[in-house]
Amino acid sequence: CSNCFQRFLLFKYPILSHGDAESRPIPTCPYEFPNGQGDVAKFLEGEKKSKEWIREHGKTYRIWSGMTSEIVLTRPEDVKTVFRDSDSHSKAKNNDAGWLMGELLGKCLGLVTGSEWRQTRLCMGDLFTQSKVAAQIPRIREVVQIYFDELHTTGRLAVRQMNPGKDLRLLPLWIVADYIYGPLTPALRSQLENLIPLRDSLFSRVIQGGAVAYKVCCTRGSITLTRFHWSRFLLSQTNHDLKDFKVRWQQFNCDVYAICQGAGRNPPIVHMYEAYKSGRMTLETLLQTLDEMLFGNLDVTIGGLSWNPLFLAAHQDTQNELRNEIQTANEEWSQYIARGDTLLAASISESARLKPIAAFSIPQAAPTVRATGGYLVPAQTNFVVDTKALNIDNPYWGPDRAAYRPSRFLERRVAGDMRYQYWRFGFGPRQCLGKYLADIIIRVVVAHMVQKYQLTLDATSTWDKKSGVWISQADCDIRCDDIELENAGK
């Protein structure tokens, strides 16, 4: 079956070399029904598959997400050729992940295109600009302190242990929730927290494609259903859970909006909800964009955050230098956090370089034909970037490119020189809307940890990645010794 589909897809979507005496088809991973290489191979197994695919197919090749063609870019010159007009690119429908993805996030700001994106972006106004986010740094610091106080009371910090990926996982969610909704009542906080396992379960099924086991005579196997639009008619647990989540998610946001109105408060949820009520945004777009900001970016932010304590624990010299920088900063603390030319900012950028949150970027298509990697790629063909190839294997980063050296981000470079050499939040004007908030969250948390604790690896520490999630998250214990207590005991 897969071979038949492969022949059909290669016939339907031919991509040939250019400039050769004899045209060659682009190297292509074999199609496997029904997911192709997405999303299990592309994300859950992405780091391993990236090496395999480059070894087998070279620096420019094609994979399949479902039956959609995606061209993988591994070199900065090809990234520049493709993304030079990224403002006019189209995001892949439902992220090339199928029907269930569309039901959760298909209409969110990050996945819509063209006039739909412009209208939704207009409704956001200046809610997530750099200046707006910077103004909230004192409040973010307060939320972080409360969270760590709870970890001391109910978590393993009391015994000087922490697993950043696990123990800090909900911290970004509470910070973003506070930013969007303002302070939540205990009842609303519980309402939101109770949605997390259901939403996690649904997104896990998006990534897996909703594999369902079957047995025909003596043959056992599984088939993926939620990628297909017709799966909405099935009396499945997935459809039951999806309906349950949508009802509860809408009710939660309605409740928060009503409370904000009654109290005369005006956090971002009020501005966004009124855009919906005035007809400038659909209810589906509103709820899915809020989902993207909270749940969709939950794993993304903790993925970016969780590796930082490990790198600092493993590099005591950098940790001590950073602690000294924080303690001797001349300006007010919020101004220091907001600056991009500090060792704090550089250490976070270096961690993100060495541990990209995902093995491959979000697929998007250029509006015109692209001659890249020796092949002529038709307009509206989706491209993805191999983040490890760009961030680590790229010669731009020098002979020590595999090493942790934050100072590389403090070296003087020509303006724009790094633009196509480094992937973190994407390229061009359609970079992640929440990038400033995500960056500030990570800076505040890292600064708090370095100020308060001496971070060290112990004999059992590993550099394991959490399994079963599409984002690269650390799954490792570190030791956190309270500096004040240690000094008091001397």
Q: What is the pLDDT of residues 232-279, one digit of tens each?
A: 888 888 999 999 999 999 999 999 999 999 999 999 999 999 999 999
Rounded CA-CA distance 231/218 in Å is: 25
Tokens 């007009």 locate to: 85
pLDDT tier for residue 459 given thresholds of 50, 70 and 90: confident
Q: How far is CA 482 from CA 6, 213, 259, in A?
A: 58, 50, 39
Using alpha carbons, select from 342, 293, 355, 316 the residue that is nearest to residue 447. 342
pLDDT tens for 42-79 read: 988 888 999 999 999 999 999 999 999 999 999 999 99
Lowest mean pLDDT among 91-105, 107-121, 148-162, 461-475: 461-475
pLDDT tier for residue 215 given thresholds of 50, 70 and 90: very low
pLDDT tier for residue 17 given thresholds of 50, 70 and 90: very high
pLDDT tens for 376-399 read: 999 999 999 999 999 999 999 999
DSSP secondary structure letter of residue 158:
G
pLDDT of 348 strictly over 60:
yes
CATH of the domain at 445: 1.10.630.10
Neighbours of 237 (CB within 10 A): 12
Query: What's the pLDDT at 363?
Result: 95
Q: Please report, in range form, the residues annotated as the binding site.
A: 432
pLDDT tier for residue 87 given thresholds of 50, 70 and 90: confident
Task: Give ∠ CA 174-243-183 in degrees, rounded to 5.
Answer: 20
Rounded CA-CA distance 460/41 in Å is: 29
pLDDT tens for 401-455 read: 999 999 999 987 765 778 899 999 888 767 778 889 999 999 999 999 999 999 9
The number of domains in the chain is 1
Rounded CA-CA distance 205/226 in Å is: 8
Domain that holds residue 124: 2-488
User: According to the per-residue pLDDT averaged within each range, which of 225-239, 314-328, 464-478 is highest?
Assistant: 314-328
Percent of the chain whose pLDDT exceeds 90: 73
Radius of gyration of the chain (CA): 23
pLDDT tens for 93-146 read: 999 999 999 999 999 999 999 999 999 999 998 889 999 999 999 999 999 999
- If you count DSSP H runs as helices and E runs as strands, how many of each does the chain have, helices first? 20, 13
pLDDT tier for residue 481 given thresholds of 50, 70 and 90: very high
- Which residues, 6 or more positions from 275, have their beta carbon under 8 angstroms from its beta carbon? 123, 281, 286
Q: Please report, in range form, the residues annotated as the binding site for heme.
A: 432
Query: What's the pLDDT at 160?
Result: 92
Query: What's the pLDDT at 213?
Result: 45
Q: How far is CA 129 from CA 205, 224, 228, in A?
A: 33, 40, 37
Query: What's the pLDDT at 303?
Result: 87
pLDDT tier for residue 462 given thresholds of 50, 70 and 90: confident
pLDDT tier for residue 224 given thresholds of 50, 70 and 90: low
Contact 411, 339 (CB under 8 A): no
Rounded CA-CA distance 490/483 in Å is: 11
Query: What's the pLDDT at 162?
Result: 94
pLDDT tier for residue 296 given thresholds of 50, 70 and 90: confident
- Arithmetic mean of pLDDT over the chain: 91
Query: What's the pLDDT at 44?
Result: 84
Rounded CA-CA distance 42/132 in Å is: 35
> 44 is written with which tokens?
């859950």
Query: What's the pLDDT at 489?
Result: 63
Q: How far is CA 316 from CA 49, 85, 304, 482, in A?
A: 33, 42, 20, 15
Which of residues 487 and 15 earns the better pLDDT score? Answer: 15
Query: What's the pLDDT at 490?
Result: 58
pLDDT tier for residue 223 given thresholds of 50, 70 and 90: low
Residue 176's Cβ-side half-sphere holds a number of Cα atoms within 13 Å equal to 29
Query: What's the pLDDT at 317?
Result: 98
